């Protein structure tokens, strides 16, 4: 694709790339040093790394309380969220999908949030040869689109979308279309898998567009990993298996590359 079709984030942006482990780990260690009292950091070095749980962060809360520095998890999360947002403007992420109409729509409109008109368009495109128009319209109207589904979801690395546990997006596309195929009585992924081509769409997403809950979950992972290493654990060698929820449509300017996946979901190549 030429440079006019896809523009990268501005030169003033600072990209968070989870594959660049030394960089985000170094930044996290700096932030921990600034936000966490030295006596708490030193005491946590004696903890068992396996007992440090990122979801609750009780290891940090309890140790802070022990030293008279009680802070609730929510307050820690807000402090780290503010710190990371000051450091990074964008995050590299990959949207796994089947491109039913080629890539032009993505180049023109970006990655759209799910809406009923879009769902109707896709449903007729995908199921038109296997169900009547009336049946498809009824299935679309019967489908509930929650606020959670009116978001864009992306992986933070290019490997896990190919794993067996996650590759249904590449094999069969949208989960809501998969559910609709059952509602239409088709009961087969074959119809979905036979249409379009599997792609990973690489993006540089404005970090502020990522749902705060997902951001804070990621920061808890980062911070906990920092403390685990300080307590003797090995440094990670692979990116986290993590997904982000983006609350706004992904603009064409945020797309940096299209990667077509081979039929066996074992490799991919960049395309123009």
Mind listing the pLDDT tens digit for each residue in 53-93?
A: 999 999 999 999 999 987 788 888 898 999 999 999 999 99
Domain borders along the chain are: 15-90+207-240, 92-203+261-271
User: Which sign, positive or negative, has the C-alpha torsion 155, 72, 224, 87?
Assistant: positive
User: Which sign, positive or negative, has the C-alpha torsion 99, 101, 107, 113?
Assistant: negative
What's the average model confidence in pLDDT over 174-202? Answer: 86
pLDDT at position 198: 93
pLDDT at position 187: 67
pLDDT at position 263: 65
Q: What is the signed CA dihedral for 248, 253, 259, 260, rounded to 10 degrees?
A: 80
Mind listing the pLDDT tens digit for each residue in 113-142?
A: 999 999 999 999 999 999 999 999 999 999
Confidence (pTM)? 0.88
- The CA distances from residue 65 to 57, 61, 162, in Å, are 13, 6, 43
Mind listing the pLDDT tens digit for each residue in 203-235?
A: 999 999 999 999 999 999 999 999 999 999 999
User: Do 212 and 151 contact (CB within 8 A), yes or no?
Assistant: no
Tokens of 24: 């985000």
pLDDT at position 6: 40
């Amino acid at each position: 694709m030429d440079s006019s079709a896809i523009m990268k984030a501005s030169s003033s942006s600072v990209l968070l790339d989870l594959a660049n482990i030394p960089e985000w780990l170094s930044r996290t260690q700096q932030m921990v040093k600034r936000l966490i009292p030295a006596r708490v950091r030193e005491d946590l070095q004696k903890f068992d790394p396996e007992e440090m749980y990122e979801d609750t962060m009780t290891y940090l809360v309890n140790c802070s309380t022990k030293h008279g520095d009680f802070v609730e998890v929510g307050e820690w999360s807000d402090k780290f969220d503010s710190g990371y947002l000051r450091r990074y403007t964008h995050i590299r992420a990959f949207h796994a999908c089947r491109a039913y109409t080629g890539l032009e729509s993505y180049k023109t409109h970006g990655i759209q949030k799910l809406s009923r008109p879009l769902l109707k368009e896709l449903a007729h495109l995908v199921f038109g040869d296997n169900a009547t128009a009336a049946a498809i319209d009824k299935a679309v109207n019967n489908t509930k689109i929650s606020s959670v589904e009116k978001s864009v979801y992306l992986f933070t690395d290019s490997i896990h979308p190919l794993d067996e546990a996650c590759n249904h997006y590449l094999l069969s596309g949208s989960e809501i279309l998969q559910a609709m195929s059952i509602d239409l009585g088709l009961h087969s992924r074959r119809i979905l898998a036979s249409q379009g081509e599997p792609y990973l769409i690489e993006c540089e997403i404005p970090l502020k567009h990522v749902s705060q809950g997902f951001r804070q979950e990621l920061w808890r992972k980062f911070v906990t990993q920092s403390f685990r290493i300080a307590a003797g654990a090995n440094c990670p060698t692979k990116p986290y298996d993590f997904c982000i929820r983006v609350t706004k449509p992904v603009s064409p300017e945020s797309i940096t590359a299209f990667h077509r996946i081979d039929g066996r979901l074992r490799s991919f190549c960049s395309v123009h």
